[in-house]
Structure 1
Amino acid sequence: MHGRVDGAEGFCAIPGCGQAGEYKAPVEPANFNGPGSWRLLCLDHVREHNSAYNYFAGMTPDEISAAQTPYGGWERATRAFSVAGANPGPAWSDFTDPLEAIAARFRRPQADPAQGRFTGPERRALAVLGLGGDIDRTALRKRYSQLVRRYHPDRNGGDRSHEGRLGEVIGAFQLLKGAAAFR
């Protein structure tokens, strides 16, 4: 039966009752707020206990009416749902079929253009230069010039702290300038 405590041992908590106490009931029903303290009652006494409970006791008629509306409790402020770093879904207005809109939300992102044009080491070299896969030879040379000027000691008053990064940029450019994607 619903509400029965499995494995409950002992008698009903009502004095003089000799039946098994198998159902949980709060000790103070009028002041129940959370886990509190419980007592075990027999089926007859738990029914009597539950019939005496009145959720609306102490409320004004307006409060009772407000609690009984389908929107009761929704007037409280809540936090907005976040996308937790995920890309926001597509706009519903872009679709005529709701199922298409739902499917678009879960489609895999389009492959990076660099995947087909460049090999693995070439993609790593592009990352060193901060470039994507949709570049041409002119954009490659322009980015290489910018980075060499930024990291070269002659442009930084003799500061040699960026030599390691400069070496990475030069190595990446040397690899990419002979890439098959630019032939």
Structure 2
Amino acid sequence: MRQSRFHGRVESGGRMCNWPGCEEAGEFRAPGARLPGFDGPGDYRWFCLDHVREFNSGYDYFDGMSAEEIFRAQSPLHGWEAQSRAFRPDAGVDGTPRWADFADPLEAISGRARAHMRQRQADLKPENARFNPEERRALGVLGLEGDIDGKTLRLRYTRLLRQYHPDHNGGDHSRAARLQGVVEAYQLLRKSPALA
């Protein structure tokens, strides 16, 4: 596919004009029904020179937008809503990102950060201080807090063992990985000096 430098013409073999009843070669690209956005680049229609001119003369980018959306799209600040680090009062020296700096429609970044913050807060609790980081992760696997004793550990292990073991689930092995994690966490914690 070769593109003409100045005219927008894309020469390719076999593409026909999408205008109904036209038999000319479709060498000019026009926006399709699906516009570019979060889901990808969108699609295109291909027209001959006469029909792309006709299409462009009647094309309305703002068709279907509310007055507020049109105003936002026409704003000279469009795309500059987030304050850049260099112009913040702290100049971004704290090293932590602000959530306003990111567009996170699926909450992929913020969800992970919330889980990380919950883990850090749990690690700072005084009752968790007696366990090392690996043992704290094992407590998380078992769903326990740091204020446990050996008896509580055994009871929780027994309950999870019954919950995930294939013999108690009609031979269902879909939870085997979870069961293995529970067993490894219990083996680590039962040898912990914090529970001696």
* TM-score bracket, shorter-length normalisation: 0.3 to 0.5
Greater relative contact order (Cα 8 A, min sep 6): structure 1 or 2? 1
- TM-score, normalised to structure 2, is 0.37
User: Greater CA radius of gyration, 1 or 2?
Assistant: 1
- TM-score, normalised to structure 1, is 0.39
